[in-house]
Structure 1
Amino acid sequence: MGGAPSALLEQPWREVSEKYKDNLKFVKSYQPENKQVKHLRILLHGPVGAGKSSFINSVDSVLKCRSAGRALTNANSGSSFTRKYRTFKFHKNQESTYSFVFNDIMGFEHDSDRGVPVEDVKLALRGHVKEGYKFNPEKELKEGVDGYNSDPTLEDKVHVLVCVVPADTVSRLSDEMVEKMREVRLAASELGIPQVAILTRVDEACPEVKKDTKNIYKSKNLKEKVEKFHQRLGIPMNCIFLVKNYNQEIESNDKINAAIVCVLKQMLYFGEDFLEK
C-alpha cells in the first residue's frame, strides 16, 4: 500500500537557487543603457494587504544582507496602509543608489469608493502622479490639481508594472478585484509596458513551503495557484513568480533571497527591453 501522494514535485518547475549569486551580481551591477534614465521605475499594484510594501522591504533586505523596513507595513490589512505615491531608492552606500526604484501605491479594495482609483494607477503608468501625492479614494487625480505632473519625462514614467497578490487568496479574488487589475493591465499593454506578477505569502498557502522555503517551486499546490492566476488575469506563466517576503526573520536567508532575486532580475530584463524601444 502506498502512502499519501506527495505535495511536492520531484524537481522544481522553476530553478532559482542555482543561479542565485549570478543573478544577485547582475541586479547589483545593473545600469540602464538608455541615458535618458538614471533609474528603471517599477510600479507595484494589487489588493490591500497583498505585501507590496513588504516586498520592497524584502528587496532592501536582500541588497543589505540584513533585515530592513523602510516601507511601512501594517499587520492589520483591512484598509490600505500606503496612502501616498512614494519612490523607494536602494542605497549602495552613502553616495550612490542602485539603478532601479520601486513605486508603492495605495491598494485596491472591493468597493468602488475605497482604495486607489483605477484611473490614478493609469495616470501613474504615464508618469502623471507627482511624488508624495496623497490618493483620495473618492476623487480621481485630474490635470490642474496639485499632485498632477503635466509634463512627465521618460524617467517619471513606469517601465515595469508588477501585480502583487497573496498566493493564499488567489482562488478567493472577487470578480470586481480581478476587473480592476485587468483594467490596469490593459492600460499598461496599450503603452507597451511589460508586466510581471508576484504571488506572496507562499508559506501561508503551502505547509511544505512553511517547513522549508526551498520548496517554493516544488509545491504542487503553489503551481496550481500560479496556473489559476494565469487563467484569471491572462498574465503568461513565465511572468508569474512566487515569493516569500521577510516578516519574522531578522537574519538574511539565501533560500528567501533566491526567489526574490529571480523575479527582480526578470523585472530588470523586461524594463531594459522597454527602454530600448
Structure 2
Amino acid sequence: MTQEVTNDATISNQPPNPRINNWKTFYRKIRKNRGAMVGGILIVVFIIVALIGPYVTPYGPYEQDYSVRLDNPSADHWFGADHHGRDIFSRIIHGMGITLYIGFLSTFISAIIGTFLGIISGYYGKSTDAIIMRIMDVLLAFPGILLALAIVSVLGPSTQNVIIAVAIFSIPVFARIVRGSTLSVKKLEYIDAQKALGASDFRIIFMHIFPNITSPLIVQLTLSVATAILTASGLSFIGLGAQPPSPEWGAMLSDGRNYIFDAGHVAFFPGLMIVIVVLAFNIFGDGLRDALDPKMKS
C-alpha cells in the first residue's frame, strides 16, 4: 500500500515535460512566428542543395576557363567568374556542403561533451562542480574567435582543425546551460522520490533529468550552428581554415577581397551566402525558443 502511494505521489509531482510531445502544437507555435518559418524553410533548402546540388551544377568547382576571368554575372555564369575563371555559382553550391558540415559536426561534438560535463557538474555538485566549472570559466575568459584562432594556430590550418577549434570553444556554453537546467530539475520532488525508490544515478540522469532539459539544449544547438559557421568562415578568411582551392565560403571571400573594386561579385556572393545561412539559423533558433518556452501562452 505504501509503495502504491509513493508511486502515485511520484507521478503527481512530476512536472510537465518540456519536450516536443505534441508535434501539431509545436508546429502551430512555429507557424505563428513568420521569421522562424522562413528560417526553417531556408535551412531545409540549404540541406537539400548541399546534398544534391553538386550533382547538378553546370560547372565543376575547380574547372578553370581563363577566357571568362572575372566576368560579371551572366546567363552562362549566374554569379560570374572568379580570377581563375571558375564559375562562382557552382563553387558556392559545392561549398554549401562544406559549410554545413563544419557547422553541424562542430556543434554536435561540443553539444555532446558540454552536455555531459554540465549534467555531471549540476547533478553531483560540490568538488566535481567546482572543478568542471572553473575549467569552463577559463575557456569562457577568452573570446570565442580568439580561442579558436589560438587552437588552429597550434594545430595547423585545415578544415578538421577548424572543427576541433570551434567545438572546443563552444563546449562551455552548453555546459553552463545544461548545468543550470540540471540544478533546477534536481530540486524537484519527483527526483527525490526516484532516489527514495532506489533508482540509480544513471537512470535518474538519463531517464528523468536529461529529457526535461532538452528545450534550452535544442535552442542552443540551432544558434551554435550559426556561430560555428561564422567562426569557421572567419578562420578561412584569414587563411587558417579551409585552404585554396577549396570552395569553402570564407576562403572564397578571402580570394575575392583583392578584386573587390574591379570585380566585386567575386566577394559579394560568398559573403551574401554566409549572411543568409547565419541569419536563417538565428531566426529559426529564436522561433524555437518561443515554441519550446513552457511559460509561453498557447
User: Fold conserved (TM > 0.5)?
Assistant: no
More strand by share: 1
Report which of the two structures shows the higher radius of gyration computed on alpha carbons. 2
TM-score, normalised relative to structure 1: 0.26
Q: Which has the higher helix share?
A: 2
Q: TM-score, normalised by structure 2?
A: 0.25
